[in-house]
A and B are shown apart, each in its own frame.
Chain A
Amino acid sequence: MSDAHRTEDSAGAPAAVFTGIGVTAPNGLGTEEWWSATLAGKSGIDFVSGFDARSYPAQLAGEVRDFDAGAYLSPRIVVETSKMSHFALAATAMALDDAAVDLTRIPEYERAVITANASGGAEFGQRELQKLWRGGPRDVSPYMSIAWFYAATTGQISIGHEMRGPCGVVVSEQAGGLDALGQARRVVRGGARLAVTGGTDSSLSPAGYVSQLPTGHLTTVTDPARAYLPFDAAASGFVPGEGGAILVMENGTTARERGISDPYGELAGYAAAFDPRPGSTRPPALARCIRAALDDARLRPEEIGVVFADGHGTAELDRQEARALAEVFGPRGVPVTVPKTMTGRLYAGAGALDAAGALLALRDQVVPPTVHVTGPAPGHGLDLVLDQPRELPLRTAMVVARGHGGFNAVTVVRRAR
């Protein structure tokens, strides 16, 4: 493997490189603020403050607090869009700024937008549903039609930055953030020079929050430091969060031509797979998905420096994931981390935020910690990076994301130099 900046991937197609990162996360707003908080083990999980959750069996969330949408967006756009889009539009502005790209120098049909979304604009939707059922159809805002739906964010990014190339939206619950990166790589290989990609979500309204209770997956533990404990013997479920990350992906060749000699890294591998239907005796799809992503990246398991695990936080799904990692990498065969212990699960935002973390881990040669987990369940066979960050040489990182209903996605990012 050459140390030069790779402009082609291992299959000979133009490499898809990441040149910009923007983050809106519960434990940090802005990429560097979030990354320092993450390395410091600072958690954003707390009691829900946006509405009264005291009567609910689950009461915690990873909220993006102190976020002033007006600081990033025009007053008109703030009113016409929902919180999920506020986060995405703010993160897009950060990511494009970080990429230092002059979009006017990229042909308009070669600028793409591919985002993921899981549950739409829950708070906006609940407000308008309330108007409809308390008042009547004439009380519903004309912006409801464009604000709550899953494609709203991609549309607003496209309009805000005059991106006229392929635009799309992938929905596969928590796996979606990685599926968006995979689709963004397809459009880059198909001729787009630049793709704004990633995902943000916010289901934190009373109706959005309560809609998740019947899965039985939200933890009912109310101590924010003991609530979301993936791979722990005391795992009791997860905490929902909001926010996510937006990344700028570019064709490696044209990025280099515009002077980017040191991108964050390359999307070297991606694969998606679906679990067998309930009652099947076939194995879960995750191990196969991890192997497929490795094959796509033309890497061997021992070449992976760290795995950002999905870390569902329920016993059975933790066991499945641990088994898949052990099967591919061997027992304790690779460092594993779950920085989402500091944010909660962000749905479409999760894969994108973990990908951002993986890229920064490659940059700084450090693995962020998994906080709050003190008693890893015996038998998982994982080398979990616990409460302190771990410095080690890193060339590659893997991100795993699993979505409710059977979705699995895995990406591999590789340092460009």
Chain B
Amino acid sequence: MRTMDVAITGIGVMAPGGAGREAFWDCIVSGRTATRRVTHFDPAGYRCQVAAEIDFDPAAHGLTPQQARRMDRAAQLAVVATDEALADSGFDTGGTDPGRIAVTVGNAVGCTTGLEEEYRVLSDDGRQWAVDHTFAVPQLYNYLVPSSIATEVAWRAGAEGPVSVVSSGCTSGIDALGYAAGLLAEGSADAVVAGSADAPISPITMACFDAIKATSTYNDDPQQACRPFDRSRRGLVLGEGAAMFVLEDTGRARRRGARVYARILGYATRANAFHMTGLRPDGREMAEAITAAMDQAELGPQDLDYVNAHGSGTKQNDRHETAAVKTSLGNRAFELPMSSIKSMVGHSLGAIGSIEVAACALAVERGAVPPTANLHERDPECDLDYVPLTAREQKVRAALSVGSGFGGFQSAIVVAAPGEAAA
């Protein structure tokens, strides 16, 4: 029997290019990019002035004025995606012991948007180091601690089981699902509302990425600013968003007659212990994570039909990842389609891992793989099939999604069709 067999029974997505799961799928299979000149603030003076933003009105998605005020944008996105996932799953939260419902939310940079806005007022735009406490707003502490995002999701879902945020930087969106799968496997919950959210398109986070020259400088060509695996790539483009899932033990989901999009069968994370932001070109630790996740899933390279790449579009990542996939999957790496949806929806840090798993689950369910947009001329050192420009209709029995992040963390997760590879 497998040590991990988790059914995805509900999916909610808030991603650039259109709100909701279906708008997201439509965006990525059409190859449309949602990157644009930043509108959340005036980016003049920034090295990178491009991001993948969501046009989002909290009220239109059912948040009351007080809810919208007390939540940072990351929490708002998480809650809206949670609502969609719960409704989609048919899971009856009211008919379940609340203590058996858990919540795990991945997130990398917390509530920085709200925190920065309030910091500007408290400090009068940095004029005061000893900030003025009389300007502290009621929701300020929620912005300081990202655990507030999990609190909001738990309240939405009526969850009273284990609740936490998993914050391992840019692999958080995968790691949160691995954590949730662990809760199900050990019997700590019957269902986990799991996924991730981040809203990093704020001056301080854009400045952070400017400072390390990680973001793209194609400011004059925003829609083609993120070019994973392309010879002309210049870096990542920040995004924002959330993807939330209802996860249940597969046997239990089947017994309640739930529609199962796909099953999570394997997960692993490893660290390169090399550099907080640098990657070794050989991708050794990512290869190790992939191998461990595949072993847990009891699948071999021939069982995979799709790889969802980290594909951030930085020079070092795309080579590192290409090497890792070749090392771990051998010759199969050359036969597999492997694409980066970050080319279209940007890199939403802690959120993107879950958004990419949503893409994998929908690819499995719908028999299509999304393309890598903006890929016109492959980097000679990136010699795999990256599905340039156009989606492909094809059966996907199982998909692998990988992530790589600051801290040196490398994560891999395996998603398989409900009827495939039965244990």
Binding site for B on A (CB under 8 A): 51-53, 55-57, 80, 108-109, 113, 117-120, 122, 126, 128-134, 136-138, 140-142, 144-146, 149-152, 154-156, 158-159, 161-173, 175-176, 179, 183, 186, 203, 206-208, 210-215, 271-278, 282, 285, 288, 403-407
Contact = CB atoms under 8 A, between A and B. Distances in A.
A140 B103 CA distance: 35
Contacts, number: 260
Nearest to B144: A211
Given A206-B130, A210-B133, A274 B144 contact: no
B162 interface: yes
B212 A137 contact: no
Nearest to A13: B186
Interface of B: 45-47, 98-99, 103, 107-110, 115-116, 118-120, 122-123, 125-127, 129-131, 133, 136-148, 150-151, 154-155, 158-169, 172, 175, 179, 182, 186, 188, 203-204, 206-212, 214, 268-277, 285, 288, 292, 405-409
Contacts of A131: 126
A159 B207 contact: no
A168 B208 contact: no
Contacts of B211: 137, 140-142, 144-145
Given A130-B129, A404-B141, A169 B204 contact: no
A140 B207 CA distance: 7
Contacts of A277: 154-155, 158
Contact of A171 (B125, B140, B164, B272): B164
The residue among B45, B142, B151 with the most chain A CB atoms within 10 A of its own CB is B151
Contacts of B127: 134
Given A151-B108, A214-B141, A159 B274 contact: yes
B166 A155 contact: no
Contact of B408 (A136, A159, A169): A159
Contacts of A167: 168, 269-271, 407-409
27 contacts: A119-B145, A133-B119, A134-B126, A137-B207, A142-B212, A144-B211, A145-B277, A149-B109, A150-B167, A156-B407, A162-B273, A164-B270, A166-B269, A167-B270, A168-B168, A171-B147, A206-B130, A206-B131, A207-B123, A211-B141, A211-B144, A214-B139, A272-B163, A273-B160, A274-B103, A405-B142, A407-B151
Contact of B273 (A57, A164, A176, A271): A164
Contacts of A57: 133
A118 B165 CA distance: 10
Contacts of B154: 274, 277, 406
Nearest to B3: A190
The 10 tightest CB contacts between A and B, nearest first, are A155-B407, A405-B151, A133-B126, A272-B162, A150-B167, A145-B208, A171-B165, A137-B207, A134-B126, A274-B163
A146 B276 contact: yes
A273 B162 contact: yes
Nearest to A171: B165
The B contact surface, by secondary structure, is mixed
B190 to A, nearest CB: 14
The residue among A113, A164, A210 with the most chain B CB atoms within 10 A of its own CB is A210
A142 B110 CA distance: 19
Given A171-B166, A405-B150, 4 more contacts: A149-B109, A155-B407, A159-B275, A405-B148
A140 B45 CA distance: 13
Contacts of A132: 126, 203-204, 207
Contacts of B138: 214
Nearest to B176: A168
B210 to A, nearest CB: 5
B73 to A, nearest CB: 17
B270 to A, nearest CB: 6
Contacts of A175: 164
A273 B154 CA distance: 11
B168 A129 contact: no
B98 A155 contact: no
Given A118-B147, A120-B110, A407-B163, A145 B168 contact: no
B110 to A, nearest CB: 7
Given A154-B168, A288-B99, A130 B126 contact: yes
B275 to A, nearest CB: 7
Nearest to B159: A274
A135 B69 CA distance: 29
Given A207-B122, A210-B131, A137 B203 contact: yes
A155 B133 contact: no
Nearest to A52: B130
